[in-house]
Structure 1
Amino acid sequence: MISVLPEDLPMIQAGDPTARTALVLHGGGGPQTVAPIVGHLSATMHVLAPTHPGWDGTTRPESIASVADLARAYLSWLLDQRELDVVLIGSSIGGWIALEMAVQAAADDRFAGIIGAVIDIDGVGALVEGEPIADFFALDARGLAEVAWHDPERGYLDPARFTDEQRAVQQGNGRTMAVIAGTGMSDATLLDRLSAVNVPTLAVWGASDGIVTPAYGRAVASGIPGAQFVEIPAAGHLPHLEAPEATWAAIDPFLARA
């Protein structure tokens, strides 16, 4: 079965359409979690930021039932759009999608030249011995804030304050994430396959991330030829939200060279 993105998939477009393209891939929290990345990059790049199928009430085709399926669908879409030298920037599950896209592109001549660089921000997806991924689905709102944020009070969202609509969206996102990423949010084959990545890669990690630790991030980066690793102080799983200036200071020099 061919993995194809829905035609009505929401896609934010920002910046100069004649500039280099950045595809920004959000994590389980939805597209709003990468809004600062879109805003920052739009000053110098052509930014595309889709809502993954099944998130925020969108349709998920049956053909997209895994991260590998979604990665293939995005690669095929970029091919159809005749995009070249695209920078993939993914947060959390988005980082996993970006790495899977890079692995698939390296193995398929049809996608040659589409991906120019990858930035993985606290991405899940790999299995790293001794560094387990936190059991996201077993955590309540308080527990999630504790592991995901350097400052848990800043990240805590009180479920009692949610509207019925917000609660329905959050529950729908969780169900989609369980299908796409699995309850373990990992692929046992990914770490070994990362050696195929053949584009400049940067791993950016919050020093206080308790979902996937900096040691986990270093292990992922070490599996990618020539990859760089930067740790962001006083930040957790979403460093672009907690420490944006330090995150841009890591990303911008990389993009200037990649």
Structure 2
Amino acid sequence: MNNPFLLLHGGGGVQTMAGFADLLAERTRSQVLLPTHPGFGGTPRSAGVTTVADLAASYVETLEEQDLANVTVIGNSFGGWLAAEIALRKSPRIRAVVIVDGIGIEVDGHPLTDVSGLSPAELRSLSFHDPSKLPAPPSAGGPSPDVQALIGYTGPTMSDPTLIKRLAEIDIPTHVIWGESDRIADPQYGKAYAAAIPRSTYTLLPRTGHLPQLETPEELLATLTTI
């Protein structure tokens, strides 16, 4: 079996990664781990795990408990921030990191969209290049419970002002991948993410929004051959 992957979902929940996890496992014949972050999907929050850094530490511990090595971590949105924090822990079990439309940094002139009060339909309109091609969103008008879980970890700004400087400490291959139509975190935000990481590459995906693994999964999969 090939080297394993750890997939980290964003504020949309584990379901935003499930299809891509299956595709990745089938095409690479690798072990693919797809955990639900504590607090998402109706799961309880873990005692003592209250910050993004805490969550990163818990995932590194899980890799150690399962005795996994040469792991590639792929994170989307909040999961991208989490992947960066995992890389910063410098675990020898991690071989590479892929940050897909990540959040967490602060970039002058390119603020993150505040998603805390958006309905699923509003969030969808900002997240996809072409929302009309996807199934209709739930009719509920309020913000998703998973978005509330997200804010519980990140705080209302969904960012850490220290993160962009700390990214310079990442010393493993890192691929930053962005959808050109992302209206949650625009492509210039993505370029700033990549520029802050010494050994990173940056790829812009056309006709893609904030969730490439849902909108253009084949194109996202193709970029992973460079890691």
Give the shorter-chain TM-score range: over 0.9
Using a 3 Å threshold, how does the CA distance of structure 1 residues 230 and 95 change in structure 2: closer, same or farther?
Answer: same
Corresponding residue number in structure 2 for 1:46: 31
Aligned-CA RMSD value: 1.9
2:204 is aligned with 1:246: no
Q: TM-score, normalised by structure 2?
A: 0.92
Aligned to 2:41, what secondary structure does the other structure show? Answer: helix
Q: TM-score, normalised by structure 1?
A: 0.82
Corresponding residue number in structure 2 for 1:139: 118
In structure 1, what is the Cα distance between the partners aligned to 2:48 and 2:110?
Answer: 31
In structure 2, what is the Cα distance between the partners aligned to 1:34 and 1:219?
Answer: 25
Query: How do residues 38-187 of structure 1 correspond to structure 2 at under 5 angstroms?
Result: 38-43=21-26, 44=28, 45-105=30-90, 111=91, 113-154=92-133, 157-160=136-139, 171-187=144-160
- 1:155 to partner: Cα distance: 5.0
CA contact 2:170–2:198 (8 Å) conserved in 1: yes
In structure 1, what is the Cα distance between the partners aligned to 2:184 and 2:119?
Answer: 14
- 1:122 to partner: Cα distance: 0.3
Q: Which has the higher helix share?
A: 1
Structure 2 counterpart of 1:57, one-letter code: G
Query: How do residues 215-230 of structure 1 correspond to structure 2 at under 5 angstroms?
Result: 215-230=188-203
Deviant stretches of 4+, over 3 Å: 154-159
Report sequence identity in percent. 39
Per mean C-alpha deviation after superposition, the further-off stretch among 84-93 and 149-158 is 149-158
Higher-Rg structure is 1
Corresponding residue number in structure 1 for 2:6: 23
Structure 2 counterpart of 1:141, one-letter code: P
Aligned to 2:34, what secondary structure does the other structure show? Answer: strand
CA contact 1:141–1:157 (8 Å) conserved in 2: no
Structure 2 counterpart of 1:193, one-letter code: R
Is there any run of 5+ residues in structure 2 with no aligned partner, and where?
Answer: none
In structure 1, what is the Cα distance between the partners aligned to 2:97 and 2:46?
Answer: 26
Aligned to 1:71, what secondary structure does the other structure show? Answer: helix
Using a 3 Å threshold, how does the CA distance of structure 1 residues 155 and 138 change in structure 2: closer, same or farther?
Answer: farther
CA contact 2:121–2:138 (8 Å) conserved in 1: no
CA contact 1:86–1:115 (8 Å) conserved in 2: yes
In structure 1, what is the Cα distance between the partners aligned to 2:164 and 2:134?
Answer: 30
